Homo-oligomer: A and B are copies of this chain.
Amino acid sequence: MGVNSNRVEDLPYHGTTIRIPTEAMPPLEIHSVCLPPKQTTFQKLKHRLGEIFFPDNPLHRFKNQTWFTKLLLGLQFFFPIFQWGPEYNVKLLKSDIISGLTIASLAIPQGISYAKLASLPPIVGLYSSFVPPLIYSVLGSSRHLAVGPVSIASLVMGSMLSEAVSSTEEPILYLKLAFTATCFAGLFQASLGLLRLGFIIDFLSKATLIGFMAGASVIVILQQLKGLLGIVHFTTKMQFFSVMSSIFNHRGEWSWQTIVMGFIFLVFLFTTRHISKTKPKLFWVAAAAPLTSVIISTVLVFFLSSKNPHISVIGHLPKGLNPPSSNMLYFNGPFLALAIKTGIITGILSLTEGVAVGRTFAALKNYQVDGNKEMMAIGLMNICGSCSSCYVTTGSFSRSAVNYNAGAKTVVSNIIMAAAVLVTLLFLMPLFYYTPNVILAAIIITAVSGLIDYQAAYRLWKVDKLDFLACMCSFFGVLFISVPLGLAIAAGVSIFKILLHVTRPNTMVLGNIPRTQTFQNLNRYREALRIPSFLILAVEAPIYFANTTYLQERILRWVREEEERIKASNESTLKCIILDMTAVTAIDTSGTDMMFELRKMLDKRSLQLVLANPVGTVMEKLQQSKTLESFGLNGVYLTVGEAVADISSAWKAQP
């Protein structure tokens, strides 16, 4: 059979054998299949670990440089400020000042609102808009990220801590736990970055996050009905049924004055948002709206307060800079586990948001953000934050978008914003005394309602039903069960999807496209033709323990069905099965055993089994496990076309 007499173990690493077919077929070169270049286990491990931890090869710029350049590059690597700092100029500064002031006008009301969302004193939200942006501006590599508290992390922290400790009954303990959780979030984030385990956040798929954010937003909006309706007694739980029952069981507390005011400002905020959405140039309309609402409503309440004691207001806020809070970190006691858990979950969520937002805007301006470095920056920012009365912060999507639209050029816009917050903290705090809580509720509702992306969900439904399922699982999980459980379920569904793909891979029958050496799915390409006496099967997955049984059964079923078809149509009998291994990207020991078994079973039925185009690692494993030997000479071909040509010419030679 054939002329290739290389023993399989002695396959040349790089060789071409030209076989002369025995009959008048068009001459076709038959190439032998190479093994990948030999590597020691250590080399393989090194390569593998390199791919896992350093896929972007962050040190490539350090190669072939003098040690001074290396030092400079190192400094730039760890402190990106040294990269853009020297080239900074007045023109850039002008852009940054405009964008910085714009995001400050958004950050101040949002800071106060989000702190309330986390059941923290409003001032903590302002503190968190001051220190972290400064730290990020030194360490961060994104130029457009606007740093500060964000809704999702605030909500999750509030809901998780409130389950155990009441923020109204034990405010000090609650505050301690919040700072501790922030510290753990930072430690977790920084260590993910340091250990280059950033890919962990990739396991929260986009589909999962869409569902999660929508579910969380619905809960938040329902919870804001407290402020919007003026209810005084309200659940602190983040769960659909308890929130709904709180709303309807306290109907007596509804205050029509609050409701009217709330809805007027809601309409105002949504209108401005709509304007900015339809005309991106008018981004400042939406950006300025929250601060405008706060000012107008505060003035309104100030003048009406004597007649209208029904509208609840923020009240006294202390003046002054962030007080140190390192003495408030809580490293032992009954709630430590809770603080760690809250820290990890808020940490992972805020990291996901921050890194995703950073990458989005980097892609728009065509620069790269190093995920792992970004994680270290965000982590350090939270660690420092937890020692200066800040809670979890990250890059906010809405504020970063405003920042980008306002023309921010570098992270200096964050410094400008921090400066504006500083001024507020030092001088303007008393002005917020009469700011009504209802306006904060309206601001939160406007902000989070943008996170409900039903169009994206519809797109998921259209493109990928399993992604849609993951999305729905996280949506309903968050809404009806709890935040961590909802996330866990959604991550589970996403992972299950990967496993399902491997457990039940596609197999298909290929046919030849006339006048080519190309073989394609018979079901998809009507012009593709079966080759008499051959059954060409493609397997579309790695062959792993989880699918060997299935694949063996499925291949035997294909053979059985092909034999039945041939019987029915009186064609020439099946003699050879070619497995196209192009898409079999890996194989494990169960897989090699299966191939061995399959070969033996088909041999007993006098059917030849050959492989076409196994990839390097698969070829290597087949050889190491001695399975290749059982395939013997002529068992492996470079392409399906060569296999067909060589085998049929061998048949003609030996009739």
Cross-chain contact of A37 among B202, B505, B524 (Cβ < 8 A): B524
Cross-chain contact of A29 among B207, B467, B516 (Cβ < 8 A):
B516
Residues of chain A from 413 to 463 with CB closer than 8 A to chain B in the complex: 459-460, 462-463
* Nearest B-chain residue to A210, judged by Cβ: B589
Complex CA gap A186/B615 in Å reads 43
Q: How far is the CA of A463 from the CA of B617 in the complex (A)?
A: 10
Known contacts: A13-B526, A205-B588, A463-B624. The answer to whether A494 contacts B545 by CB under 8 A is yes
Please tell me if A312 contacts chain B, counting CB pairs below 8 Å.
Answer: no
Q: Which residues of B contact A601 (CB under 8 A)?
A: 363, 366
Cβ-defined partner of A498 (8 Å) among B206, B518, B546, B605: B546
A494 to B604: give the CA distance in the assembly, Å.
Answer: 32
**Stretch of A127-135, A151-159, A571-579, A590-598 contacting B (4+ beta carbons < 8 Å):** A590-598
CB-contact partner of A523 in B37, B586, B638, under 8 A? B37
**Chain B residue with the shortest CB-CB distance to A461:** B41
Q: Are B518 and A639 in contact (CB under 8 A)?
A: yes
- Is A548's CB within 8 Å of the partner chain B? yes
Interface stretch (choices A48-56, A85-93, A116-124, A529-537): A48-56
**Of residues 443 to 494 in A, which have CB atoms within 8 Å of B's CB atoms?**
459-460, 462-467, 494
Q: Let me know if A253 is at the binding interface, CB within 8 A.
A: no
- Assess A597 versus B363: contact at CB under 8 Å? Given A199-B549, A549-B371, A583-B585: yes
Q: Which chain B residue lies CB-closest to A508?
A: B616
Query: Could you tell me the distance between the alpha carbons of A494 and B624 in the complex, rounded to whole angstroms?
Result: 20
Within the complex, the shortest CB–CB distance from A50 to chain B, in Å, comes to 10
Contact partners of A466 in chain B: CB under 8 A: 588
A303 on the interface (CB 8 Å rule)?
no
Q: Are B55 and A501 in contact (CB under 8 A)?
A: no
State whether A206 and B585 are in contact (beta carbons under 8 Å apart), knowing that A52-B504, A55-B557, A518-B638 are contacts in the complex.
no
Q: In the bound complex, do residue A207 and residue B460 qualify as a contact, i.e. CB atoms below 8 Å apart?
A: no
Contact B31–A513 (Cβ < 8 Å): yes
Q: Is the CB of A621 within 8 A of B463?
A: yes
Residues from 231 to 278 in A contacting B, C-beta threshold 8 Å: none
Query: A549 CA to B35 CA in the complex, in Å?
Result: 30
A553 within 8 A of B: yes
Of the candidates B41, B542, B545, the one whose C-beta lies within 8 Å of that of A205 is: B545
**Of A206, A521, A554, which is in contact with the most chain B CB atoms at under 10 Å from its CB?**
A206
Q: Is the CB of B13 within 8 A of A205?
A: no
In the bound complex, do residue A546 and residue B55 qualify as a contact, i.e. CB atoms below 8 Å apart? no
Q: Bound complex: CA of A375 vs CA of B168, how far in Å?
A: 57
Confirm or deny: A310 has a beta carbon within 8 angstroms of a beta carbon on chain B.
Answer: no
Q: With A55-B550, A463-B621, A638-B518 in contact, is A207–B590 under 8 Å at CB?
A: yes
* Cα distance, A467 to B544, chains bound together (Å): 10
A503 in the interface, Cβ–Cβ < 8 Å? Answer: yes
B-side contacts of A205, CB under 8 Å: 544-546, 588, 590
Selected contact of A55 from candidates B51, B553, B560, CB within 8 Å: B553
Residues on B with beta carbons closer than 8 Å to the beta carbon of A500: 52
Which residue of the partner chain, among B29, B55, B206, B605, contacts A593 with CB atoms under 8 Å? B206
CB pair B463–A589 under 8 Å, yes or no, is: yes
Is A506 in the interface zone, CB < 8 Å from B?
yes
Most buried by B among A15, A202, A597: A202
Residues of B with C-beta under 8 A to A203:
545-546
A589 and B37 within 8 A (CB) = no
Is there contact, CB below 8 Å, between A638 and B590? no
Contacts A31-B516, A37-B523 given: A588-B57 contact, CB under 8 Å?
no
* Cα distance A318–B638 in the bound complex, in angstroms: 68
> Which chain B residues lie closer than 8 Å to A15 at the CB level?
527
Q: Does A329 interact with chain B (Cβ within 8 Å)?
A: no
Chain B positions within 8 Å of A526 at CB level: 13-14
Instruction: Known contacts A31-B516, A56-B557, A207-B590; decide if A202 and B583 are in contact (CB<8 Å).
Output: no
Q: Is the CB of B202 within 8 A of A503?
A: yes
- Give chain B residues whose Cβ lies under 8 Å from the Cβ of A629: none
**Quick check: B604 and A544 within 8 Å, CB to CB?**
no
Q: Indicate if the CB atoms of B524 and A36 lie closer than 8 Å.
A: yes
Q: Kindly list chain B residues whose C-beta atoms are within 8 Å of the C-beta of A208.
A: 545
What's the nearest-Cβ distance from chain B to residue A373, in Å? 13
Measured between beta carbons, the chain B residues less than 8 angstroms from A206 are 545, 589-590, 593
Query: Is the beta-carbon distance between B585 and A506 smaller than 8 angstroms?
Result: yes
Indicate the member of A516, A520, A588 with the most B CB atoms within 10 Å. Answer: A588
CB of A515 to closest CB in B, whole Å = 6
Quick check: is A166 within 8 A (CB to CB) of the other chain? no
Docked CA distance A459–B625 (Å): 7
Give, as a whole number of angstroms, the nearest-CB distance from A521 to chain B. 6
Can you name the residue of chain B whose Cβ is closest to the Cβ of A548?
B202
A540 within 8 A of B: yes
Q: Is the CB of B624 within 8 A of A585?
A: no
Contact with B along A1-33 (1 / 0, CB 8 A): 000000000000111100000000000010100
Q: Do B546 and A585 have beta carbons less than 8 Å apart?
A: no
Smallest CB-CB separation from A560: which chain B residue?
B60
Q: Is B34 a contact partner of A589 (Cβ separation < 8 A)?
A: no
CA distance A93 to B73 in the complex (A): 84
Instruction: Name which residue of chain B comes closest to A590, CB basis.
Output: B206
Q: Could you tell me the distance between the alpha carbons of A37 and B525 in the complex, rounded to whole angstroms?
A: 9
How many Å lie between the Cα of A207 and that of B621 in the bound state?
A: 15
* Structural contact, B544 and A498, CB atoms closer than 8 A: yes
User: Which residues of A pack against B, CB within 8 Å?
Assistant: 13-16, 29, 31, 34-37, 41, 45, 48, 51-52, 55-57, 60, 199, 202-203, 205-208, 359, 363, 366, 368, 371, 459-460, 462-467, 494-495, 497-506, 513, 515-518, 520-521, 523-527, 540-542, 544-550, 553-554, 556-557, 560, 582-583, 585-586, 588-590, 592-593, 597, 600-601, 604-605, 615-617, 621, 624-625, 638-639
19 contacts across the A-B interface (CB closer than 8 A) = A16-B513, A36-B521, A36-B524, A52-B500, A55-B557, A203-B545, A203-B546, A359-B549, A363-B597, A466-B588, A494-B546, A502-B502, A506-B585, A506-B617, A517-B517, A517-B518, A518-B638, A582-B583, A583-B585
